[in-house]
Amino acid sequence: MKKFLPFCLFAIGFGFAQSPWLSEPISPPPESAPEVKPTISASVFDVVRGHGYNPFSIAGAASSVNDLVFVPSDIYGKKFFYVSPTDKLGYASFDLLGGSTLLGLRNQLNEDGEPLLASLVLGYATSGFGVAFEYSIGKEWTETKTEVGDDNYTDSRRITFPGDNIGLYFSLPLGSVTAYANVRWLTYQNSYIVEYKGRPDDEDNYWTKVDYSTIDADFGLRGAIGALNYDTYLKIQRFGGTMTSSEENFSSMGEKVVTDSSYLAVALNMNLGYAALKNETARVIVGSNNAFSIKFLDEIDPGKPITGETQLTAGGSIMALVISPNILGEVVLADNWLAFAGARHDIIFLFGSETPREEDTKETTVIQMNLDRYEQTEKMTGIGEMGTDAFVGIRYQKPNWALEAQVSANPFKALAGDNIFASFGGFIYF
């Protein structure tokens, strides 16, 4: 009995120790909450983007569909379909003949953003090179014969419409850098008109020729050194405005007259972009697009008028230094959304002189800075509008398709019926 009693007391104590009323149940350690990750891979930053993604050409940003034309070696390995109804363009890239082919249909725009002739783009790339060809032709040939009594009149016209363009683009990957070159011939106006009475050698015949066109070429290198991206290139541009006519109010009986807008320009450009902030879901690029250009105005005879107006200058040169700081930010949002935005500010130093007319006794020298959309800026430098500009965009992507929109105008203008989208388009990826 003495041995049995301690055993009973031990059993009763053990039972109470296991009772749910006297002790908390032992639960397994809590599992850590699953990490919330974006539904878009960070590689979305590097896929081909829409036409309006990077309007300021910020170095280090992803390639847009139009960038593939200027550096065609980037076409290699791309397979997609893209259409933008706001920009009226479309692209398709696919495998062909052991490489990749790009087919593009797009419109050109003039300095005022108005459409010119539509163009066809064909590109081809392998792992070793890329080449592209752009073609837009607008020409008209007409001949009208009229009989008035015993006289016969013939009016023959050959006209090239604004936007007539031929462009060749070539690029070559060289390890960590890519060399590229391109040349373009863009005609703004070209016409040749002949009107003769009876026969071609009639002294009453009339003829005139007008030609405004630009030939420009770029030779450059682009690449990256760590987080620093660069794109440096030399641009050579020749703009010719000439008039020739048998009528004395144009020139002296058939001699070619150069207009005061004709020039030869040489520019050295250096675009830099640094990935200042970057993680798996966001990145910020800060950079600057810089250029130094010299424009040589054609020597012209100030004694010869064009269309009844006396020439203002007889040559000279204009130099421009342009510094354009810029920023681009992108962030992955929840549920397949990506937001992006950018801004730039243009600073320009303009200095040079114009040779005076023969009857003048002084020479004009100009020094200007910070031209904010000043109309002479584009005429003298070909740079376009100056000032500060910004854009914002949104992208929705699924595994094999995406929609992208970019806004760079005041959205409140939509109340007046304006289109606020600078660009809107959609992709199908393969």
* Beta carbons of 386 and 375 less than 8 angstroms apart: no
HSE-CB at 186 with a 13 A cutoff on CA atoms is: 20
| Mean of all residue pLDDT scores within the chain | 76
More confident residue, 317 or 330: 330
Examine residue 81 and state whether it is found in any structural domain, yes or no. Answer: no
Examine residue 279 and state whether it is found in any structural domain, yes or no. Answer: yes
Examine residue 343 and state whether it is found in any structural domain, yes or no. Answer: yes
Examine residue 109 and state whether it is found in any structural domain, yes or no. Answer: no
pLDDT, tens digit (0-9, with 9 covering 90-100), for 172-218: 999 889 999 999 998 887 777 777 666 666 666 666 777 888 899 99
Q: What is the pTM of this model?
A: 0.76
Distance CA 245, CA 254 (A): 5
Examine residue 346 and state whether it is found in any structural domain, yes or no. Answer: yes
Examine residue 17 and state whether it is found in any structural domain, yes or no. Answer: no
Domain residues for 255?
40-72+134-429
Question: How many domains are contained in the chain?
Answer: 1
Structure tokens at 102: 């790009």
Examine residue 387 and state whether it is found in any structural domain, yes or no. Answer: yes
pLDDT exceeds 70 at position 357: no
What confidence category does residue 4 fall into, taking pLDDT thresholds of 50, 70 and 90?
Answer: very low
Do the strands 263-278 and 80-84 form a parallel or antiparallel pair, or are they unpaired? unpaired
Distance CA 173, CA 171 (A): 7
pLDDT, tens digit (0-9, with 9 covering 90-100), for 362-414: 455 555 555 443 344 444 444 444 567 889 999 999 888 999 999 876 555 54
Examine residue 246 and state whether it is found in any structural domain, yes or no. Answer: yes
pLDDT exceeds 70 at position 275: yes
pLDDT value of residue 16: 39
